[in-house]
Structure formats: C-alpha cells, structure tokens
Amino acid sequence: MARRVLLVEDEPSIVEAVSFILTRAGWTVHAHADGATALDRARAGAPELVVLDAMLPGRSGFDVLRDLRADPVTAAIPVLMLTARGQERDRDLALRLGATGFMTKPFANAELVAEVRRLAGG
C-alpha cells in the first residue's frame, strides 16, 4: 500500500511535478489548492505528511501550519513547507510555527524525495 501525502499547493504545474515525482517514489499524492479548507482536508485524509506552500488562496500556508499544529488530530503530522518564499525570515517563521522541514522552489527532484522520506520516517 502506498504511503499518503497531502500536497497543499495552488499552482497546477507544481502540483503536477510534485505528484509525478512522489508517485514515482511510491507515494499516493492527494492535492488540495485552497488554504481555507486545507485543515479539513488534512483531518479527513489522515496523511503521513503534508507538503505545504506558503502562498495559497483563502489562507496562507503559515496560517494553515498554525491550524495544523493547534489541532490534536493533525498536530503530529510532519509538515514540509515547499515555497518560493526562500527568505530567512520565511524559514524562521515556518520553523517557529512548527514546520518539520523547509524547502524552496525550484527544488531538485532527488532532494524532494529524500526530504519527504526523512520527514515521514522512511
């Protein structure tokens, strides 16, 4: 059985690329594009990992991360922030809010797979 990742990303080309890369690595990827309903999707889907963009419609990825950490159902799910916002203050904010990992776009395919495996424990 494939392992489950929730990808919260609104850019179709990034959704397609990440889905392709992770599916080839044995993951089942469920994509969701709206920050306003991302917490509900995470609660319902029970993913092993959330890959979360910072800039989303509805609510920012930072707000979604805050929500994920505050909810007992999702608090322990590893979260990889994957964002074009690569400034140090963005990284610091993500880690302060409870991100398990942080990567910037563009990314190398092998690095993304390695980080997802590391954060999800194998």
Average pLDDT over residues 25-38: 97
Q: What is the dihedral of CA 28, 93, 87, 34, to 10 degrees?
A: 40
The pTM of the whole model exceeds 0.75: yes
Average pLDDT over residues 46-69: 96
**pLDDT surpassing 80 at residue 108:** yes
- The single-letter DSSP state of residue 58 is S
Query: Which residues, in sequence order, are CB contacts of 121 under 8 Å at separation 6+?
Result: none
pLDDT digits 0-9 by tens, 72-103:
999 999 999 999 987 899 999 999 999 999 99
Distance CA 22, CA 93 (A): 26
Cβ(33)–Cβ(7) under 8 Å? no
Distance CA 18, CA 81 (A): 13
Question: What domains can be seen in the chain, in order of their start residue?
Answer: 10-119 (3.40.50.2300)
Question: Confidence band (pLDDT; 50, 70, 90) for 6?
Answer: very high
- Residue 39 in tokens: 């917490």
**pLDDT surpassing 80 at residue 115:** yes
**pLDDT surpassing 90 at residue 29:** yes
Q: What is the per-residue pLDDT for 18?
A: 98
Burial of residue 18 (CB within 10 Å: 0-12, 13-18, 19+) is buried
**pLDDT surpassing 90 at residue 1:** no
